Amino acid sequence: MELTRNEKMAILNVLDQIILADGKVDRMEAAFMSAILMKFNMTKYDGFEAREMDLMDVSKTLKDMSSIKKEYFKTLAIEMVNIDGEEHNNEIAIISLIFAFIQ
Protein backbone atom coordinates (compact mmCIF):
# COMPACT_ATOMS: atom_id res chain seq x y z
CA MET A 1 0.00 0.00 0.00
CA GLU A 2 1.41 3.34 -1.07
CA LEU A 3 0.29 6.47 0.75
CA THR A 4 0.47 9.86 -0.95
CA ARG A 5 2.39 12.67 0.75
CA ASN A 6 -0.92 14.36 1.58
CA GLU A 7 -2.26 11.16 3.17
CA LYS A 8 0.91 10.79 5.23
CA MET A 9 0.67 14.41 6.35
CA ALA A 10 -2.99 14.02 7.35
CA ILE A 11 -2.17 10.90 9.37
CA LEU A 12 0.73 12.69 11.06
CA ASN A 13 -1.57 15.59 11.92
CA VAL A 14 -4.03 13.34 13.73
CA LEU A 15 -1.28 11.41 15.50
CA ASP A 16 0.13 14.73 16.69
CA GLN A 17 -3.32 15.81 17.93
CA ILE A 18 -3.53 12.56 19.91
CA ILE A 19 -0.10 13.16 21.44
CA LEU A 20 -1.07 16.66 22.56
CA ALA A 21 -4.60 15.77 23.70
CA ASP A 22 -3.70 14.94 27.30
CA GLY A 23 -1.44 17.95 27.78
CA LYS A 24 1.79 15.99 28.01
CA VAL A 25 4.10 14.26 25.57
CA ASP A 26 5.11 10.82 26.80
CA ARG A 27 8.47 9.44 25.62
CA MET A 28 6.71 6.38 24.16
CA GLU A 29 4.44 8.67 22.10
CA ALA A 30 7.47 10.59 20.85
CA ALA A 31 9.27 7.35 19.98
CA PHE A 32 6.22 6.01 18.14
CA MET A 33 5.90 9.25 16.16
CA SER A 34 9.60 9.07 15.26
CA ALA A 35 9.11 5.51 14.03
CA ILE A 36 6.14 6.57 11.89
CA LEU A 37 8.14 9.47 10.44
CA MET A 38 10.91 7.02 9.50
CA LYS A 39 8.42 4.55 8.04
CA PHE A 40 6.88 7.38 5.97
CA ASN A 41 10.40 8.49 4.93
CA MET A 42 9.71 11.92 6.42
CA THR A 43 11.52 14.23 8.82
CA LYS A 44 10.53 16.02 12.00
CA TYR A 45 10.12 19.13 9.83
CA ASP A 46 7.42 17.31 7.87
CA GLY A 47 5.82 16.60 11.23
CA PHE A 48 5.87 20.31 12.06
CA GLU A 49 4.33 21.07 8.68
CA ALA A 50 1.65 18.42 9.24
CA ARG A 51 0.77 20.05 12.57
CA GLU A 52 -0.13 23.24 10.69
CA MET A 53 -2.52 21.57 8.22
CA ASP A 54 -6.06 22.86 8.05
CA LEU A 55 -8.50 20.52 9.83
CA MET A 56 -10.85 20.48 6.84
CA ASP A 57 -7.99 19.41 4.53
CA VAL A 58 -6.98 16.69 6.98
CA SER A 59 -10.56 15.44 7.29
CA LYS A 60 -11.17 15.44 3.54
CA THR A 61 -7.90 13.65 2.83
CA LEU A 62 -8.67 10.93 5.37
CA LYS A 63 -12.25 10.58 4.17
CA ASP A 64 -11.12 10.16 0.55
CA MET A 65 -8.62 7.38 1.34
CA SER A 66 -9.38 3.79 0.35
CA SER A 67 -10.86 1.50 3.01
CA ILE A 68 -7.52 -0.32 3.34
CA LYS A 69 -5.71 2.96 4.00
CA LYS A 70 -8.40 4.03 6.48
CA GLU A 71 -7.96 0.79 8.42
CA TYR A 72 -4.19 1.33 8.48
CA PHE A 73 -4.73 4.88 9.77
CA LYS A 74 -7.14 3.63 12.45
CA THR A 75 -4.60 1.05 13.60
CA LEU A 76 -1.93 3.75 13.96
CA ALA A 77 -4.29 6.11 15.79
CA ILE A 78 -5.42 3.43 18.25
CA GLU A 79 -1.81 2.40 18.84
CA MET A 80 -0.89 6.03 19.56
CA VAL A 81 -3.74 6.31 22.10
CA ASN A 82 -2.56 3.16 23.88
CA ILE A 83 1.22 3.57 23.59
CA ASP A 84 1.64 5.39 26.91
CA GLY A 85 -0.58 2.98 28.84
CA GLU A 86 -3.28 5.61 29.38
CA GLU A 87 -6.48 6.26 27.45
CA HIS A 88 -7.21 9.93 28.06
CA ASN A 89 -10.76 11.13 27.37
CA ASN A 90 -9.52 13.79 24.94
CA GLU A 91 -7.60 11.18 22.94
CA ILE A 92 -10.69 8.98 22.71
CA ALA A 93 -12.80 11.98 21.69
CA ILE A 94 -10.40 12.85 18.86
CA ILE A 95 -10.32 9.39 17.34
CA SER A 96 -14.05 8.85 17.85
CA LEU A 97 -14.93 12.02 15.95
CA ILE A 98 -12.47 11.40 13.15
CA PHE A 99 -13.35 7.73 12.77
CA ALA A 100 -17.06 8.61 12.56
CA PHE A 101 -16.40 11.33 9.97
CA ILE A 102 -14.27 9.23 7.64
CA GLN A 103 -16.63 6.23 7.45
Note the pLDDT tens digit of each residue in 2-52. 999 999 999 999 999 999 998 889 999 999 999 999 999 999 999 999 999
Q: What is the pTM of this model?
A: 0.94
Torsion from C-alpha of 49, 42, 101, 23, nearest 10 degrees: -60
Q: Which of these ranges, 21-25, 54-58, 90-94, has the smallest mean pLDDT?
A: 21-25
Q: CA-to-CA distance for 32 and 28, rounded, in angstroms?
A: 6
Question: Confidence class of residue 85 from pLDDT cuts 50, 70 and 90?
Answer: confident
Nearest to 53 by CA among 8, 10, 19, 101: 10
68 has pLDDT over 90: yes
Q: Average pLDDT of 67-74?
A: 97
